[in-house]
Structures are given as C-alpha cells and as structure tokens.
Amino acid sequence: MRPIRVSNQIVPILQDRSAVFRALVSKANTTGVRLPEVLYTSTNTTNPMKTPRWIVLAALAGGLSSPLLTPALADLIKIDFGQSENERVPVDPNTNEPLTDPNGNPLVPPNLLDWNVLPTWTFLDPNANVTDGSASLKGVASADSTSVTWNLIDSTAPNPNKKVTLTILDNLKLAGDALMLGQTANNPTKEGIDVFYDGGVRVPYLVKDDYLYRNPDNAGTESLMRIANLTPGTYNVTVFEGRTSDGNGRFGKIWVDDISGAKEPGAENTGNYSGVASDGTKLYKGQPQTKTVTIKAGEYLWFAEMEDNSGGVSGMIIRSVDPTDSTGLFKVDFGQSENEREPVVDGSPQNDPDGKPVGPPPLIDWNVIPTWTFADPNANVTDGSASIKGTPNPQGTEVTWKLTDFSKDGNKNVTLTILDNSKLAGDAPMLGGTANNPTKEGIAMIYDGVLVPAAVKDDYIYRNPDTAGSESLMRVAGLKAGKYNVTLFEGRTSDGNGRFGKVWVDDLSGAKEPSAENTGNYSGNDSGTAVPFGQPRTVTVEVKEGQYLWIAEMEDNSGGISGMIIRGVSSGGGGGTAPAISGIKQGADGKVTITWTGGGQLETSGSLSGPWAPVAGATSGSFVWTPGANDKVVYARVRN
C-alpha cells in the first residue's frame, strides 16, 4: 500500500486464497478513511486454520497527532520519447533482410518494462501508433483536442506512485500559424549503445537512439510538458537526445509552477543535451543535462522542448535525489559481476563506434563487496573498480570492510564484518561469499528513497558453500545512536525459493538472534512469479550507543543478497514520515506476515473504533501473526 493522503483512500484487503470475499465500499468512519465493508463466504468452515475465517484490513497510524496516511519518500519516472527503436527489427547489413531466430521469427527487441514509451501521436488520435503488445502507452486527449495526458509508471518499490501523469500541449504564444498537431518519432542515427545517466540509471539504446519532435517542427516553437502528482521533494530532471547528427544542438527549459505554467523561464536553462558537442564532435554516449528542482505539494514540474527544425528529445529521467540529509546513509552492493561486466549484443561485446568497450561507469556512491574468501578477501578486487578491500581477522573467521557514509554526517567509523553462523554450518563451514548474476533485467529502481542502479540490483553474493539452512552473519559497528531503516533486496527473478533474513540489534556477540526470519521475502520472485522491479524489505530498528546492527542472510541453496541500504531516520521513523505498512501476505498455513517501515508498534483490533491492543514482540518492522480460531475480521495498524 502506497502511503498517500487520507481522503477517500480504500484500504487494501488480504483475501484468503481458499475463500471468496466481496468488498463493497460503503461509508466513512470517524477518521475520514473510507473502508470496505466485507461480506464473507467460506468454502470450508470445519477447520479455521486450513481455510481461515478472517481477513486483515490494514490501516496506518502515526502518533496521536499524525495523519493516518503520509506521503511516500520518492519517485523515479523514466520516459522514452519515440517507439521506433523499440519496434524496429534488426536487418542483415549485407542483405538488408530482417534478422530472425532459428525458428524464423523476427528478432524484435524485448519490451521495456521500466520506461514509459510515448510513440508518434496527434491531438486528434493519440493512440494511432500504439502497437498492441508493445511497451507504448495510450494517451487521453482533452475534450478540445489541445492536450494529451498519459499515466506514468513509477520505478519505485514496494510502493510505487500510481498517480503521476504527463500532459503535452502546444505553446500557443510561439506557434504562430504553425499550430502543433502532435509529435513524430524519428531515428536517423543508431549507435546501439546502452548508457548510464544520473548516477546509474541505465538507458538502453532503444531509448537513446530515437526521439520525438514537434509536428510541425518550425524553429522557435515549443512543446510544453506538464508532470503532475509527483511526491513533494527534491528531484533531478535529466533530458537527453541520442542523435549524433544534430548540429544545432538541443535545448529546453525546466521549472516548477502551478497548473498554468506561467512562470516559464525566458531562456533555455538545460544546456545542450543533444548527441553533438558544440564543436561538432559526435558524442556516442550523449551529453545528458540534469537540473535539480524542489517540488511542493500541489505544484507541477514543467519542461519546454524547444524546437529548432532539427532533432528532438529522446528521453527524460525524473528522480528523487538520495536522502543525504539522513543521519547516516550506507549503501552496500553485494557482488561485482554487473559493475564490471561488458555488455554484449548478439553474443559480441558492445563497443562504441571507436571500438571502445561500453559498460557501466564505476559506482562512486556504493560500497561494493566482490567475491571474497576468509583466506584472501581481496583476490577479486579489480584495480580502479568500485570494489572495496576487506581485512581478515588473525583466525581467518571474519572479514571486515570499512563503509563509506554517503549522508551529510560522513560517519567514518562504520564497518561491516561478515562471519559464519558456526552453529548452523555443520560439516559445511563458510569459506566466503561468491558473486553471481543469472538474470539481468537492467532496471534501475528506487528503494527507501535511494537510487539502486541496475548494476547493483542484478547481481548478488551467496554463501560459499550455499548449504541450505546455513547463514552468513553480518555485524555493522560504529553506527550513531538512533533509528535506522534497514532495506534488503535480491534482484534475481528466478529465485523461486524466495530469500529471507533476520535483522536485529545486539551486543558484539549477536546472541539475541531471532529464531525465525523477520524480513519477509526480499527476492525478485514471489511464489514462482518473476518481479522485475524487485520486492525490497525494510525493517526499522533503534540502535543505542555501543550497540551493533546484525543481519543474518539465510542460505537456501538458491540466490543470495544483492544489496543493503542502512538509512538513518528521525525518531518519528521514515525520515519524518509516519509508519507505513508495506506488505501483508497470507501463507498456505494460514499465518499472515505483516511488514512495515518507519518503526513503531503493531496493534490489532476487532473493530475500527478499537480498543487497540499491542502485539507482543511486533516492533521490528515484520511480524508473523497466527490468527485465533474465533478471529473473523481483524484490523491492524502501526503507531509510534
């Protein structure tokens, strides 16, 4: 459930897999939150645990004076202007015949999952060029056919913003006799190079190599773009044109305004974002331009695409900036494979036209831990890479890495130590951690307000040997006293087992380890279904002076851990937001796993009006709840 404002919010329902429920939105309760009235029909009433006779309705609560539902942390919106490259079938350069697979099927590029693709469109028929089954979005024209609006996908997990829209209209003041009819796609240069913009957002060549231009493309006119419903906060807005033959350059204006857009700047403020430098040099990786803006509640992001009769705009990235104002921000990337992998196309290394390998730039704001062993933790640290060096203890049973704090605090005393859980190792003691990257979605995401590049998400480290039932223990020392969000994730989408862990605060011994997982499944696979955006899990803990943060990575012989974000939050939790229930899932055994962010105590009640009772032990951000035989309807909330 994405935390949003209170009005008219319908609270999600966990529906039993073996029972039939019907939800009817009825009346608002005294809190002003519209809740469903549930009519229950069970297929089995003889065993309430086999076919539970209850559901869980989740409501959020902060402190007594807090609103029930609060804004989320971040948005990541990626827009691809032009469908030409997404749907173009590659051809043999010698015969000009379409390339096919061994079965004779055309080699069409796979659909983009994380980009909002706008194809050629017109005000009169915005969807005439939307191909069925493609990644192109459908737009809705205004009644007077002077604007078109598209709903946009937010690459944020687990609670994406589903309300963001893009509206495109003409700048009538500059149109003269050449009124805008729509936008047209074009792709005259095709470098075929994947690039990485704005700190690690992967831009596939399918996005970079085509663009949209204003129709008609009279010099001096403008296409105006208005983005609505972004979560209030600070954003990087990146624009780019991949075309390497646009000698005019390409320029625009970015600003924040009300719905009128009347405060448009008098001159361009982006700089040249085309694929040609001012001296005429072709820039095969482009020259994206980024402008940082702050958006308040009710405001709109505006972009004016300035037409010059040559070229257009290939893409736009709108990204919430990392919360560096947190009291501590530690980002750990487990696995070096994707950071150092040279992309391939059709089995050949991807090079630019000058023959230089194309790959992701070294990560400068993640602590990368490569494949390692207790005997030689730095054997796989490549010179010049982002991988950091570890130090083994004299006994060869632990390795410690010094972590960089990417927040304003700059805490230089934090370390991560990894060791074996010898109690569970049996005859398979831990030798180290091994990197792997079997699935490569290439999708950058935002987790807990932090940009997670594809190079981080798409690989992972697993315990060596990966004996099911064993554990890799991680001990984080030197954190300042306070509350922290601890977010774990595995990008692999073929890990059908799921991935689970334990997060707790303890002394140096770690003896208070929970007996069962408390994170929920943080793999890229949900009960056999691939989840390309991932399903990160966040547990909020409070660390006191001298205490350690502990993480147990539970090995199951499949998959591993891709990354961990440790972010300091205010005493109210969630970086100043109220607690937010992030997941409710019922298992086949009838038990319910409830996860939440922002700290606080889980409470339950049989009625919306209370009384509310705290659930014993449910303060870690995750709790497995076993219903009683007489529980038919139970409400849950979290409060500080």
Q: What is the DSSP string of 331-390?
A: EEEE-SHHHHPPPEETTEE-B-TTS-B--PPPPSSSEEE-SEESS-TTTT--TTSSB--E
User: What pTM was computed for the model?
Assistant: 0.79
Distance CA 28, CA 613 (A): 23
Distances in whole angstroms, Cα of residue 299 to Cα of each of 16, 222, 228, 230, 253: 40, 21, 7, 8, 17
Same domain, 490 and 594: no
**How much is the mean pLDDT over the chain?**
83
Task: Give the SS3 label for residue 101.
Answer: coil
**Which amino acid, residue 16?**
D
Distance CA 513, CA 552 (A): 8
Res 41: pLDDT:
26
Q: Supply 579's token pair.
A: 């607690």
Res 395: pLDDT:
96
Any domain includes 346: no
Same domain, 431 and 538: yes
- Strand-pair partners of 537: 488
Any domain includes 374: yes
Domain tally for the chain? Answer: 3
Any domain includes 581: no
**Which amino acid, residue 42?**
S
Domain with 373, as residue range(s), is 329-341+356-569
What are the b/e assignments for 250-285, b being 16+ CB within 10 Å? bbbbbbbeeeebeeeeeebebbbbbbbeeeeeeebb
Res 95: pLDDT:
78
Distances in whole angstroms, Cα of residue 187 to Cα of each of 93, 190, 208, 213: 17, 7, 9, 11
Which of 540, 569, 598 delimits the end of a domain? 569
Any domain includes 348: no
Any domain includes 81: yes
Any domain includes 429: yes
Are 290 and 240 spatial neighbours (Cβ–Cβ below 8 Å)?
no
Same domain, 495 and 631: no
Same domain, 507 and 591: no
Res 347: pLDDT:
60
Average pLDDT estimate for 442-454: 94
Average pLDDT estimate for 385-393: 95
Same domain, 314 and 336: no
Average pLDDT estimate for 494-511: 96
Average pLDDT estimate for 426-447: 94
Same domain, 92 and 146: yes
Same domain, 210 and 87: yes
Tell me the pLDDT band of 72, cut-offs 50, 70 and 90.
Answer: very low
* Backbone φ and ψ of 217, nearest 5°: -95, 50
CA dihedral 403, 409, 410, 411 (to 10 degrees): -50
* Backbone φ and ψ of 157, nearest 5°: -135, 150
Distance CA 37, CA 507 (A): 47
Which of 569, 603, 627 delimits the end of a domain? 569
Q: Supply 138's token pair.
A: 């459908």
Any domain includes 582: no
Any domain includes 394: yes
Same domain, 258 and 167: yes
Res 615: pLDDT:
81
Same domain, 84 and 66: no
Same domain, 238 and 310: yes
Tell me the pLDDT band of 585, cut-offs 50, 70 and 90.
Answer: confident
Same domain, 61 and 87: no
Same domain, 337 and 417: yes
Using only the alpha carbons of the chain, give its radius of gyration.
Answer: 26
* β-sheet with 121-122: strand ranges across: 121-122, 182-186, 211-215
**Is 23 buried (19+), middle (13-18) or exposed (0-12) by CB count in 10 A?**
middle
Are 141 and 151 spatial neighbours (Cβ–Cβ below 8 Å)?
no
